[in-house]
């Protein structure tokens, strides 16, 4: 994987969209984010080439399943203007889109999920927003945190 400028953790419920789905699709828009802080990250900071830890939330166990890469930077989320979408927002307009998404590309599935419990027990990850009760679906991680988690995921159990 090229050296991304930044690193992120994106959460998804695997029953809605899993890393396996992204691997099948190859690329996908990351739509439906409806939190202003997460939206700001998508709109202003997430950039092409950034590395993404793909985190399965609301799962047993929850954890990091693999890695994706950002292939398209923030753009207005079309689901916000689609009345048929569960992410529809009647206040969104072409002039003021309100919500943004990025496009991800599958990079790697780990041989094993890195569960939340393992993340909590691993030195060097203590400052991660995920481990400090952040509920954001898009969170920054440091290069060091990304490397530690990638090494954990690549280690066969």
What CATH number should be reported for the domain holding residue 113?
Answer: 3.10.590.10
Average pLDDT, the chain: 94
Q: How does pLDDT run across 118-153, given as a tens digit for each residue?
A: 999 999 999 999 999 888 999 999 999 999 999 999
The answer to the question of residue 134 being in a domain is yes
pLDDT in tens, 30-52: 999 999 999 999 999 999 999 99
Domain that includes residue 114, residue range: 7-154
pLDDT at res. 95: 93
How long, in residues, is the chain?
157
Q: Of 1, 80, 81, which is closest to residue 33 (Cα–Cα)?
A: 80
Pairwise CA distance, residues 144 & 125, whole Å? 9
Q: Does the residue 122 lie in any domain?
A: yes
Instruction: Judge whether 1 lies within some domain.
Output: no
The total number of structural domains that make up the chain: 1
Q: Of the candidates 90, 76, 92, 87, which has an alpha carbon nearest to the alpha carbon of residue 39? A: 76
Question: Please, what sign has the CA dihedral across residues 117, 123, 128, 134?
Answer: positive
Query: What pLDDT is recorded for position 5?
Result: 74
User: What is the percent of the chain where pLDDT is above 70?
Assistant: 96
pLDDT at 157 over 90: no
- SS3 label, residue 1: coil
Residues 55, 8 contacting (CB under 8 angstroms) = no
- Whether 123 is in a domain gets the answer yes
- pLDDT at position 156: 57
Residue 141 in contact with residue 114, Cβ under 8 Å?
A: no
DSSP designation for 129: G
Q: Which of 79, 82, 98, 84 is nearest to 29 (CA)?
A: 79
- Whether 2 is covered by a domain: the verdict is no
Confidence of residue 4 (pLDDT cuts 50, 70, 90): low
Segment 8-12 mean pLDDT: 97
Calpha distance 39→32 (Å, rounded):
10
């Amino acid at each position: 994987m090229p050296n991304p400028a930044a690193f992120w953790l994106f959460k998804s419920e695997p029953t809605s969209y899993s890393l396996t789905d992204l691997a099948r699709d190859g690329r996908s828009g990351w739509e439906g984010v409806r939190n202003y802080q997460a939206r700001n990250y998508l709109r202003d900071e997430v950039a092409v080439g950034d590395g993404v830890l793909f985190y399965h939330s609301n799962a047993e166990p929850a954890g990091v399943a693999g890695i994706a890469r950002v292939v398209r930077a923030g753009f207005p989320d079309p689901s916000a203007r689609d009345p048929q979408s569960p992410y529809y927002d009647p206040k969104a307009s072409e002039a003021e889109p309100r919500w943004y998404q990025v496009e991800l590309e599958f990079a790697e599935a780990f041989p094993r999920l890195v569960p939340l419990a393992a993340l909590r027990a691993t030195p060097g990850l203590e400052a991660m927003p995920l481990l400090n009760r952040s509920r954001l679906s898009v969170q920054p991680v440091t290069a060091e945190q990304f490397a530690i988690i990638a090494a954990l995921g690549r280690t066969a159990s």
